[in-house]
Every structure is written in C-alpha cells, then in structure tokens.
A and B are shown apart, each in its own frame.
Chain A
Amino acid sequence: MSTPAILIEDLHKEFIVSHSGAGSLKTALLWWKRRRLETLKVLNGLSFQVGQGECVALIGKNGAGKSTLLSLIARVYRPTSGRITVNGRTAPLLELGAGFHPDLTGLENILFNAMILGLSRKDALARTGEIVDFAELGGQIDAPVRTFSSGMLARLGFAIAVNVDADILIVDEVLAVGDFEFEEKCYRKIEEFRSVGHTILFVSHQMESVMRVADRCLLLEHGQVSMEGAPSDVIARYHESG
C-alpha cells in the first residue's frame, strides 16, 4: 500500500471558551471578576486516512467538527492530542478571500496570497497569468480588492488555491458563492486536479456535489467518524439520523 496523503490517528481537539469575550489586562488583574472559562471538546478520538489521488467528502451537522478538522489539517490549529500526517503540500481554502488586503489591487493580492500558500516569489509571478485567466476578472484585476463583489472575491480565491501547485486541496464549503457558470468551471477544475493524481478533502452541505465528485464520504458526529463508505450509503444514513 502506498503512503496515504492524509493520515489522522486518534485526534482530539479541545477549545477553551469564555462567556465574556476577549480579555484585557484589567480583567486579568481584577481576580474577583475573573472570567469563567469552559472546555469544549470538538474532536474525540478521530481516525481516518485519505489515499493519494482520492477525493473525500466530509458531511455532518453543524458543530460536528468538520471545519475544526480541516483547520487542524491546514495547520491553523495544533491538536490537543493525536497525530496528523500530511504527505505533500496543502492548499487550504477555508474561507474565500481570507488574506486579501482591501487596499491592494487584485494582482498584488494574487502575488501575496500565492506566497502565503507556499510559492516562491518567482513561481508566484509565473502563475499570475493563469490565475487571472481562470478568475475571469478582466481589467478589474488592477483595481483595489475593496471594489470587488463577493462573487469576484470567491472566484479570485478559488483561482489562486487551485493554481499554486499544491498536492492536496482542502475546501471548506466555499463553492456555493459563484454563479452557475463559474461553479461548473470549478467542478471541471476539480476533476482536472484529480485526474493528475492530486488529493481533495472537502466539506459540503450540498449532497448533489458530494454525490458528484466524491469517491468516498465520511460522516462526522460528535467529533468522531460515525460512518465511512460510498457517498450514496453515507448520505442515506445521514438523512435517516437527521
């Protein structure tokens, strides 16, 4: 068996939540007003793997831990315990337009975002042409990003993520923003991404898209994988439990 693209072993993640918002030195010093902190267990001993070139969908109710799991794989969070092994470079698409600076132009943001996603300056510059073409923004690309509509931001964000030569694409429910035509284009790009042997892990609430692109589906419940298998079976079970 070849090495998996993503290997998750007994993953736990806890968050500390406060009921009174962000802290200040003042509240830290006033001990009689100390904030009440609670621990929230989001992932409880989760294990699974994604093979090279596989396209896996994660489904589950709100609060099941889907987004937390993707953020952990994208190295935004550090696990409380357990292990995550990722073989290859990831391009996380956790939110469209994250990391865009409103005052910089589309082009400047492309360069910058591609570098955040791990490209060198030279490679990022070489990619801008493709990204601009894919996003179909035309002359608007030279305008500051603050003048973009949310659909345009979505297109630009997706165009960057799929064009940075990552081995693994991690997508958190962001494809439902563009118009029909662009959505189709995204699916085609995802197909293309898979056909060259790249791996995709994505979260979706749209069961049609899960049926359409996923090879395998995982159902998350209370921070654990409660079922995995063919998309049609897992979706049926998900609808039953709901």
Chain B
Amino acid sequence: MRENLRELWRYRELLFAMVEREIRIRYKNSVLGFFWSLINPLVTMLVLWLVFKFFLRNSTENFTPNVLAAYLPFMFVQLAVLDSSQSVLVSLQVVKKVYFPREILPLAGVIANFVHYLLALVVFFLYMFVVWASTGFQDSPFTWRIAFLPILLIVTVSLTTGLALIVSALNVFYEDVKYAISILLYLLFFLTPVMYFSENVYYSIKNAGLPPVLYDIYHLNPLATLATTYKKVLVPPGPVDAGGGLGLVQPLPMNWGLFGVTFLVSVGLLAGGYALFNRLKWRFVERP
C-alpha cells in the first residue's frame, strides 16, 4: 500500500493533467462551455420549486434549498462513479502500451466531478444569499453548522473514491458491472432522502407501528445519512411537512451515531477499494 501511494505521489502531475483533460474534453465542443456546470444547478432549482412547492404544495420551510443541498452531492457521487466505471476500459489501449499508475484513471474521473460539484456548491450559496438579501437580510441562512462542511466533503469523497476504484477495476473483467451499478444508483436515489426527509421516514415507521430500529437500518445506506447531514449542515433547521395528515413536525436533531457509522464505512470502502484495485491492476492488460 505504501509503495503504491508513493508511486501515485510521483505521478501527481499526470493526475492533475488528466483532471484538466477530463474537464477540457467535456466542454470542448460546446457553445456554453464551462457555464454548463453553473446552469445545471440553477435549472434543477427551478424545476424543484415548480414541482414540489407549486404542484405538490409541500409546506416544509426552505424546501428547495433542502432538496438541493442533498441533490448536488448525490449527483456528484452518481456521476463520479459512472464516469470512472468506464475509465480503465476506455483507456485500455493506452494502458496496454505505457506504464503509469493505473489508479490515476478512476481518480481523475472522481476529481473532475468533484470540481463540478464545488462549482455547483458556489451557485447554491449564491442562491441562499440572494434569497436572504430579498428578505432584507433577516434570519441569516448561514449557521455555525457550515463549519462542518469540510468533514462532510471528505467523507463523501472517500466514499465515492472507494466505490469508483472498485467499480472501475471490476468493470474491466465483467463489462456489465457498469449497468448493474447504474441501476443500483438509480434505485438508491429513491431510497435516499433527497426529495423527501429523514423525518418522513421516521414518522412513517412510527405511525405504522413498526420497530424504530428500521429507521437505523434505512440509514445504514451511507448515502442516506450523508444526504440528511448535508441538509442539516447547509440549511437552517425548520419544521418539516411529514405528510399523511401529520402536518408539520419538528426536525430531528443531528444523529452523530449514524454519521460515525457512515464515516467508518466510507474510510473502509476507500481502503478496501484501493487494496482491491491494486490487486487487480496488473491483470487489466491480460484480461481474458
């Protein structure tokens, strides 16, 4: 492991050049170029508002920013994993002819998407600021919890990198891994509290008279815990529309226990994924 990390460090400039290339290629033949990354969150915001606030009349306070706070990182995980799943396979011709640390390929996919996520996050904060300004600067939407954002980003990136390493390595040998993973991520989107809230899950379980431990089991999905943590960190707490005749409920406090579990799972996935990738990487060129 140490040996591999040292080798990766020696090729760090290639990694950054690869990230730059990924970003450059994406916008190479487009008119709007880099603005695409800014337009996407803006349009998403508009559609979310239209659907949930206007059509469905959800009365949750700060609904749109809440959803967006979780939607953006989810999209980052999804795009980064899908992009990098193919990364080794599409570069196999290069991999067969030149030596360089192979993990650079999926890592570049993750980092390029992370850059886009950071840009989207800037748009998100601008939106929050504009809304705040339009109310004449009453009740600042920025709380002390934002200080927690860097740790949250680190956990998200290590989870994503771990997944990307595993998926990209396996996809070389089993080409349908990327289909399996794209279906899985699509379904996970609905099983993750992005468009709804952990509070919805909590009160639905309670109302149906089911054992409360189901709430914890649901949050063993690291993306579920992350989505809720992003909402609680980026948007000030307010009453949530629990639906089903329950009306508005008070928000649940941060669940540090669940976040701790997610933290451990993410770090474990990163270490395990890197180990797996390094075991398999010499066999990429020899795949039967």
Chain A residues near B (Cβ < 8 Å): 15-18, 22-26, 28, 35, 37, 71, 74-78, 92, 94-95, 98-99, 101, 103-104, 108, 111-112, 115-117, 120-121
Q: Mark B34-65, 1 if CB is under 8 A from A, else 0.
A: 00000000000000000000000000000000
B98–A117 touching, CB < 8 Å: yes
What 3 pairs across the A-B complex have the smallest Cβ distances? A18-B288, A98-B97, A75-B99
Are A116 and B173 in contact, with the CB atoms below 8 A? no
Assess the A121–B100 pair: CB atoms within 8 A: no
Picked from B93, B175, B288, the residue with its CB within 8 Å of the CB of A98 is B93
Q: Give the complex CA separation of A75 and B287 in angstroms.
A: 16
Query: Of the candidates B16, B21, B282, which one forms a contact with A78 in the assembled complex, judged by CB atoms under 8 Å apart?
Result: B282
**Distance between Cα atoms of A58 and B174 in the complex (Å):** 36
CB neighbours of B288 from chain A (8 A): 16-18, 22-23, 35, 37
B145: Cβ under 8 A from any A Cβ: no
Dominant SS at the B interface? helix
Are A76 and B98 CB-contacts (below 8 A) given A16-B286, A111-B17?
A: yes
Number of interface residues of B (CB under 8 A): 29
Chain A neighbourhood of B96, CB < 8 A: 71, 76, 94, 98
A25 near B97 with CB under 8 A, answer no
- Inter-subunit contact A112/B97 (CB<8 Å): no
* Residues B175 and A112 in contact, CB atoms below 8 Å apart: no
Cα-based distance from A103 to B96 in the complex (angstroms): 21
Query: What is the bound-complex CA distance between A35 and B288, given in angstroms?
Result: 10
> Which of A23, A26, A75, A111 gathers the greatest number of chain B CB atoms within 10 Å?
A23
A116-B98, A116-B100 are contacts. A77–B175 as well, Cβ < 8 Å?
no
Residue pair B17, A74 in contact (C-beta under 8 Å) = no
User: B93's closest neighbor in chain A, by CB?
Assistant: A98
Bound complex: CA A112 to CA B17 (Å) = 7
- A23 pairs with B97, CB closer than 8 A: no
B177-A25 in contact (CB<8A): yes
**A25 interface neighbour in B95, B180, B285, Cβ under 8 Å:** B180
Asked if residues A103 and B94 are in contact (CB atoms below 8 Å), the reply is no
**Contact partners of B18 in chain A: CB under 8 A:** 112
Q: Does A112 contact B21, Cβ atoms closer than 8 Å?
A: yes
**C-alpha gap A15/B288 in the complex (Å):** 8
B206 within 8 A of partner (CB): no
Q: Give the docked Cα–Cα distance between A108 and B16 (Å).
A: 14
Min CB–CB distance A124 → chain B (angstroms): 9
Q: How far is the CB of B12 from chain A (nearest CB, A)?
A: 10
Which of B24, B99, B176 interacts with A24 by CB under 8 Å?
Answer: B176
Q: How far is the CA of A112 from the CA of B18 in the complex (A)?
A: 8
Known: A76-B98, A103-B25, A115-B14. A25 touches B286 (CB 8 A): no
CA distance A192 to B93 in the complex (A): 30
CB of A27, distance to nearest CB on chain B (Å): 8
Give the Cβ gap from A25 to chain B, nearest Cβ, in Å: 5
CB distance from A203 to the nearest CB of B (A): 14
- Complex interface: chain A residues within 8 A of B98 (CB): 74, 76, 92, 94, 98-99, 116-117
Task: Indicate if B3 sits at the interface (CB-CB under 8 A).
Answer: no
Q: A16 CA to B287 CA in the complex, in Å?
A: 8
Chain B residues, Cβ within 8 Å of A104: 21, 24-25, 28
Q: Which residue of chain A is the closest to B95 with respect to CB atoms?
A: A76
- A99 x B94 contact (CB < 8 A): yes
Q: Given the complex of chains A and B, what is the CA–CA distance between A94 and B24 in angstroms?
A: 27
Q: Which of B173, B176, B286 contacts A77, CB < 8 Å? A: B286
Q: Which residues of B contact A16 (CB under 8 A)?
A: 286, 288
